[in-house]
Amino acid sequence: MADYRDLTGNYEVDFPILKEMFHSLTNEINIDNQQGEVISHTFTTTSAEVITHRLGKIPTLFTEMDKTEAGTVHRTAWDADGITLVSSDNSQVLKFYVE
């Protein structure tokens, strides 16, 4: 992954580097021993929906970060490939962190 030490001061050269840096910041969190993923999901039903993640392991943490509708979201299952969530609103947009 590119970082600020790769910047040259030339916009044409630096733009792809900056884009990669910002993209990684919006999709992953890596602080000390924490490694997780931020996921945005739009629910289409109030039934259970499986949302894939890229952790490669069974998560140990699920935290809501932001949602667009009042209501509840709860986890019913998770495994090394995905997390199953149920929303009380069928148009809920949820941003969450999974680790």
Global pTM exceeds 0.85: no
Q: What is the pLDDT of residue 28?
A: 57
Per-residue pLDDT of the chain (99 residues; tens, 9 = 90+): 566 677 778 878 888 877 777 776 665 555 555 678 999 999 999 999 999 999 999 999 999 999 999 989 999 999 999 999 999 999 999 999 999
Distance between CA atoms of 82 and 75, rounded to whole angstroms? 11
Q: Which residues pair with 35 in a beta bridge?
A: 30
pLDDT of residue 82: 96
Q: What's the rounded Cα separation, in Å, for the pair 50 and 83?
A: 6
DSSP-assigned beta bridge partners for residue 31 = 34
CA dihedral (80, 88, 27, 66) in degrees, to 10, reads -140
Q: What is the C-alpha separation between 77 and 66, in angstroms, rounded?
A: 20
Residue 51 · residue 83 · CB < 8 Å? yes
Total Cβ atoms within 10 A of residue 95: 13
